Amino acid sequence: MVRILIVTALVLLGLGALFLALRPEPTATNDEPREQVYDIEIEDDAMSPVEVGVGQGDQVTLRFTSDAPVEVHLHGYDLEEEVEPGEETELSFEAELSGQFEIENHETEAALGALLVEPR
């Protein structure tokens, strides 16, 4: 009888150890908000890359250069910045809102590209 109890206890201990060894990590490290910096070229009223993907809560910096003067307007966040040829213009913000947001040339209303913020 005592032997059965000891064996049962050992089996339970073994299962406990296995559970601890095999359980998944509580949170993946890449799920933390982070700093994201993108270099974006505007040519013929189109962004390259055309879409920028970040995570909600990320600290985002978009560094624009352009072949022509452009009034960059990020919808949703409602941020606007003049970009002159031969100059780098930065748009910095915390990506609090999730969703897809159009980036347009506010003067011509041409869609340059988009910002995609994945919910976190």
Provide the binding-site residues for Cu ion, judged by CB under 5 A: 73, 104, 106
Residues 20 and 27: their CA atoms lie apart, in Å, by 15
Which of 55/64 has CB closer to Cu ion?
Answer: 64
Tell me how far, at minimum, the Cβ of 82 lies from Cu ion, in Å: 13
Tell me how far, at minimum, the Cβ of 50 lies from Cu ion, in Å: 17
C-alpha to C-alpha distances, 69 to 34, 65, 79, 92, nearest whole angstrom: 31, 9, 17, 19
Residue nearest to Cu ion (CB): 73
Tell me how far, at minimum, the Cβ of 45 lies from Cu ion, in Å: 13
Structure tokens at 5: 């109890």
